[in-house]
Amino acid sequence: MYDKSLIHYRKARFLIDKLFFKLLRQKFDPTLQKLVEKHENKPMLIVGNGPSLNRTPLEEFKIPSVGMNKIDLLFKRTAWRPNYIICVNGLVMNQNKKIYRKSDIPIFLDFKAKYLGINGKNVNYFLVNPNLEFIDSYDSGFAAGATVTFSAIQFAYLVRANPIIIVGVDHNFKLNNTKASAIEKRQGEDENHFDPNYFQEGKLWGVPDLVNSELNYNIAKAKCEEVGIQIYDATIGGKLDIFEKISIEKALEMTSS
């Protein structure tokens, strides 16, 4: 279960952030309504950062997609680009802020990025709500949970994409003997992501919490099912068993029309 003191802290910070967010908020460009008009009832790809991404034929997917965190490290090896990038992790935002500032791709960041001085022509902010309730409105704040994929699913839900197809979410990590959600320094090459330099040796990273990630995924699944949005997991060799599994071939077939 989540640390109650941490939840109380996040709730207090949320109230402060909400005030500043209203004063400083950048509007969607294009507006949220235009995004809904663009994506409603159309498939959307959510692209994780697991090693299986190196075996995933992203260039064959001709549908809108959402990348996460340091997805830009893949760009030197493929012509594929996501339509949007989402990040909620403060460590990652700080490590990748130069990339975000210069990005030609719309970036959606936790509002605390504003305090970190991360801005740019394509940088947008959203509030992170400490409650784990799935959002119905952009202004309510995304529930960040234990994995950025949870926020990415909320984005797809918010623009009413259907179905949502997930790739690259391996849900399988090689870890040191460290408590979940702890902050530690990387040792050796990063075997948990598609690039060995994703978190370079000596860089800080947040240890994944698979138990609470699964809690998040179940919340996302239930909320999407309420409105008839289907979520499929086409991750090659993925260990997550929350969403209906389909093959890459089936995913491509479903999105080819």
Spatial contact of 251 and 233, defined as CB atoms under 8 Å apart: no
Per-residue pLDDT 10s for the chain (257 aa) are 555 555 555 666 666 676 666 666 655 544 567 888 899 999 999 999 999 999 999 999 999 999 999 999 999 999 999 999 999 999 999 999 999 999 999 999 988 898 889 999 899 888 887 777 888 877 777 888 889 999 999 999 999 999 999 999 999 988 765 666 678 888 888 999 999 999 988 888 888 899 999 999 999 999 999 999 999 999 999 999 999 999 999 999 999 86
Predicted pLDDT of residue 100: 97
Name the CATH architecture for the domain at 4-254: Alpha-Beta Complex (3.90)
pLDDT of amino acid 58: 98
User: The tokens of 59 are what?
Assistant: 């260039």
Token code pair at residue 29: 């460009």
Residue 175: φ, ψ to 5°: -125, 155
- 221-229: long-range contacts (C-beta < 8 A, 24 or more apart)? 223/134, 223/157, 224/153, 224/157, 224/164, 227/157, 227/160, 228/162, 229/157, 229/160, 229/161, 229/162, 229/163, 229/164
Contact 194, 168 (CB under 8 A): yes
